[in-house]
């Protein structure tokens, strides 16, 4: 039978590696078990699916997440590890707590280590002592922002990290982080596989920008949008308080502007939303801003941190993880806006707000807390069943298993011709194109 592929994706791209056949009866009782044949349909665009009856003809499916009746690891002998990497994000502590409590109470795993300061904690050269995680220790950490394990950026020696896992007899490693963290987790799994070790690696996608592909949403995003709404409200109050008042807010979003777009839709006061996916010229933007001020006397601008990078002349630099260091588009726009209106003889009152670190460090809101709990539980279920080299995703209302190579194969971005951006244009009234 011919293998059907769509959008350069084939069924094998969705296959999840396994350490072996699960043979141990699960200690879980009174739960709804998931069978291996349970799948979640993938399709790139709902409009491509003509009717529900044609879904069975679509071969691309995610493995459904959830507890299995048979597990791979013997809980009485299993030792687990957790590592958190990259930037801070609301909900990291919630995920840590959910994983620890699920391991202890659902499966009876008694030894869980937290590796300190990201992948540095797996490298002996930094001498970071692992933190033993117990239900008592994690009982209240979900009420705090940040991560009790600490974080870091940048790669470490893969062989050294696997040496640590082998030396400590770790059978299951949970890596909580974004694109770079997941690539690191995949590299760890490749070394594990090369050595023929029985160690599972499970990722939990952490990106406040919501830019992991094949995952509908990531934790922390809802909290970021909610917190952004308060900031934009303040910017609006400042703007309407003065003739020709301008409120300028910079939000997170290096290469994907989902926070800026959703925060804009949550606040009908926003008049301009600038995101990395939609280029603009300074001249056209400033002219549109002038027209707005002349007609309504005030304006609110939301800009994602990665927008307009082509407008600033700056040598390219990289951080420890190899990510491009972005110039500050917020300060750049502030300066250019003030220069423009000064040259026009128009006195404006501009207030610039950058709440990024305030938002990143806040605890998760209730919606994100629920999401983090379920992500943590499903990560544990996947690991105990012997799955590896995968992340727990969320797709079409269901939790899923996503192979790490698939999740990091591309970056999720706003489609400038899609419905989300069309809604932003409708809500703001800004020009369709500002080039």
In a shared domain, residues 277 and 423: yes
Asked if residue 391 and residue 282 are part of one domain, the reply reads no
Instruction: Select which of 94, 179, 209, 211 is catalytic.
Output: 209
Residue 35 to residues 21, 63, 238, 258, Cα–Cα distance (Å): 14, 9, 55, 34
Are 49 and 193 members of one domain? Answer: yes
Q: Per-residue pLDDT tens for 329-386?
A: 999 999 999 999 999 999 999 999 999 999 999 999 999 999 999 999 999 999 999 9
Is residue 104 in a domain? yes
Instruction: Provide the domain count of the chain.
Output: 2
CA 295/CA 428 separation, integer angstroms: 14
Q: In sequence order, what DSSP letters do the residues of 148-166 get, joined into one string?
A: TT----S---HHHHHHHHH
Same domain, 235 and 281: yes
Specify if 433 maps to a domain: no
Q: What local confidence, expressed as pLDDT, does residue 260 receive?
A: 98
Based on the domain organization, do 204 and 245 belong to the same domain?
A: no
What pLDDT, on a 0 to 100 scale, did the predictor assign at position 46? 44
Residues 48 and 172 reside in one and the same domain: yes
**Domain CATH number, residue 46:** 3.40.50.450
pLDDT at 200: 98
Residues 156 and 282 in one domain: no
Residues 342 and 388 in one domain: no
Which pTM value belongs to this model? 0.94
From the list 237, 254, 379, the residue with the least C-alpha distance to 324 is 254
User: Which regions in the chain score pLDDT beneath 70?
Assistant: 1-7, 44-58, 315, 319-322
2: in domain:
no
- Does 103 reside within a domain? yes
Judgement on whether residues 331 and 398 belong to the same structural domain of the protein: no
Domain at 254, CATH number: 3.40.50.460
- Which pLDDT score is estimated for 50? 40
Which residue range forms the structural domain that includes residue 241?
221-358+416-428
Residues 209 and 291 in one domain: no
**Contacts of 227-231 spanning 24+ positions with Cβ under 8 A:** 227/355, 227/358, 227/359, 227/362, 228/259, 228/263, 228/266, 228/355, 228/359, 229/263, 229/266, 229/267, 231/353, 231/355, 231/359
Instruction: Verify whether residue 328 is a known catalytic residue.
Output: no
Is residue 172 included in any domain, yes or no? yes
Within-domain flag for 228: yes
pLDDT at 43: 74
Contact assessment for residue 337 and residue 245, using Cβ atoms and an 8 Å cutoff = no
**129 CB neighbour count, 10 Å cutoff:** 9
């Amino acid at each position: 039978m011919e293998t059907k592929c769509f959008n350069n994706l084939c069924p094998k791209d969705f296959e999840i590696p396994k350490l072996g056949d699960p043979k141990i009866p699960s200690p879980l009782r009174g739960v709804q078990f998931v069978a291996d044949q349970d799948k979640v349909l993938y399709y790139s665009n709902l409009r491509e699916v003509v009717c529900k009856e044609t879904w069975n003809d679509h071969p691309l499916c995610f493995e459904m997440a959830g507890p299995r009746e048979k597990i791979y690891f013997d809980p009485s002998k299993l030792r687990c590890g957790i590592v958190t990497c990259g930037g801070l994000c609301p909900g990291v502590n919630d995920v840590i707590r959910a994983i620890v409590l699920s391991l202890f109470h659902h499966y009876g795993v008694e030894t869980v280590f937290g590796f300190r300061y990201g992948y540095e904690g797996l490298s002996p050269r930094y001498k970071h002592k692992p933190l033993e995680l117990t239900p008592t220790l994690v009982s209240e950490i979900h009420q705090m922002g940040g991560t009790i394990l600490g974080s870091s950026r940048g790669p470490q020696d893969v062989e050294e990290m696997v040496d640590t896992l082998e030396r400590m007899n770790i059978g299951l490693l949970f890596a909580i982080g974004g694109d770079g963290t997941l690539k690191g987790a995949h590299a760890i799994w490749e070394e594990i596989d090369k050595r023929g070790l029985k160690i599972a690696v499970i990722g939990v996608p952490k990106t406040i920008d919501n830019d992991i592909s094949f995952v509908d949403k990531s934790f922390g995003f809802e909290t970021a949008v909610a917190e952004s709404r308060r900031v934009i409200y303040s910017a609006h109050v400042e703007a309407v308080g003065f003739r020709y008042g301008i409120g300028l807010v910079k939000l997170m979003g290096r290469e994907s502007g989902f926070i800026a777009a959703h925060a804009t839709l949550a606040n009908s006061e926003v008049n301009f939303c600038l995101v990395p996916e939609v280029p603009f010229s300074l001249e056209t933007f400033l002219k549109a801003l002038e027209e707005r001020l002349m007609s309504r006397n005030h304006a609110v601008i939301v800009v994602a941190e990665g927008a307009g990078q082509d407008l600033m002349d700056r040598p390219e630099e990289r951080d420890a993880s190899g990510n491009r260091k972005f110039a500050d588009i917020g300060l750049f726009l502030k300066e250019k806006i003030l220069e423009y209106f000064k040259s026009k003889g128009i006195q404006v009152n501009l207030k610039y707000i950058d709440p990024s670190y305030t938002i990143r460090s806040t605890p998760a809101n209730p919606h994100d807390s629920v999401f983090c709990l379920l992500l943590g539980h499903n990560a544990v279920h996947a690991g105990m069943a012997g799955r590896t080299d995968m992340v727990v995703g969320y797709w079409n209302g269901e939790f899923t298993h996503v192979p790490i190579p698939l999740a990091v194969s591309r970056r999720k971005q706003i489609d400038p011709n899609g419905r989300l951006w069309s809604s932003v244009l409708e809500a703001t009234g800004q020009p369709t194109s500002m080039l």
